[in-house]
Amino acid sequence: MKTTGIVAILLIVGVLLFTLVDGEMLDGEVGSEDLVTMKSSPDAEHTTVETSRNNSSAVLIDAPHIQQLPELPRGCEVTSLSMMLQHAGVDVDKMTLAKEVKKVPYQENGLYGNPNEGFVGNMYTYDEPGLSVYHEPLEELANQYMPNQVKNLTGSNLDEIKESLSNESPVLVILASTYDEVPEETWETWETKNGTIQVSRKIHSVLVTGFNKHSVFINDPLHPTKNRPIDIENFKTAWEEFGNQAIALASVDQ
C-alpha cells in the first residue's frame, strides 16, 4: 500500500508539472507553447527563444534603451537609430546622430520640406516648427557607421521583421504614435519641391526588439521601460500607416 501511494503521488505531481509547462504564457511575456531552449550571444546582450521549427516563435533582444528627452523632443528617429547601432557595438550617441542626419528647412519659398530627403525643421525644440525624417536619410546615416551592413526593409511585412529579429538584429521602424490608425483629420497635404506628399504629426520611431504570438516588443524612446509590449495587430496597423518603413543591420553572427 505504501508503494502504491507513492506512485500515485508521483503521477499527480507529473501531471501538474506537465500542465504548467504546456500552458500558454501570458500576453506580454516572451514565450509560447513551442518553447524549446534559450540561448545568449557572447557578442551582444540578448536572449532568443527558439523552437523546433525553422523560424522562432518568440524572440526578445536586450538592446540598449535610450530616452530622446529632454534633449530631442522630435528626435525619436535618431534616438532609435542610436539604440540599433549601439546594439551592434558602434560607439555613437543620439546627439551625434542628430547633428549628422541630413536636414531640410521646414518651409522655404512657399514649399514644405520633404522627410524623404532629411529631417524637416527643428528636432531640438518645440519653439520652432519641425516634423520628422523617413527611412532613406536614416539608412544613409547608418551606412556611414556600418558600410554595406544596412538592410532597408521598407515595404516588407511583419514576417521579414520577425526574420531579422530571429537573426538577432533589432529593427528600426517608423509608425503611428497612436499605435493604431492615424486619425483622418491629422493628415496634411504638403507641396514640396519634389511634389505633393501626405504627412501627419502622429508619427513616431521605435526599435523593435522582439515578438511572441500576441505582441511585438519595442524600445520606445518616449517610454520609461525597455521591451514594451504592443498588441501585434495594433503594431501592424500603425506601421502600415506610414508605408511599412523599416531598417535593420546584418545579424551579429555575420
The chain-wide mean pLDDT, for the chain, equals 84
Cα distances from 217 to residues 15, 230, 240, in angstroms, run 33, 6, 17
pLDDT of residue 28: 34
Q: Is the pLDDT of residue 221 over 70?
A: yes
CA dist., res. 30 & res. 166, Å (int): 13
pLDDT of residue 38: 26
- 176-211: per-residue pLDDT in tens? 999 999 999 999 999 999 999 999 999 999 999 999
CA dist., res. 179 & res. 181, Å (int): 7
Least confident stretch, 43-52, 123-132, 148-157, 205-214: 43-52
Length of the chain: 254
- 84-117: per-residue pLDDT in tens? 999 999 999 999 999 999 999 999 999 999 999 9
Say what percent of the chain tops pLDDT 90.
76
- 7-16: per-residue pLDDT in tens? 444 444 443 4
Q: Is the pTM of this model over 0.85?
A: no
Domain ranges of the chain: 64-249
Angle at the Cα of 236 (from 235 to 242), degrees rounded to 5?
95
Q: Is the pLDDT of residue 171 over 60?
A: yes
Sign for the CA dihedral angle at 50, 54, 60, 66 comes to: positive
64-249 maps to which CATH number?
3.90.70.10
Q: Cis bond leading into 70, ω under 30°?
A: yes
CA dist., res. 54 & res. 146, Å (int): 28
What is the band of 161 on the pLDDT scale with cuts at 50, 70, 90?
very high
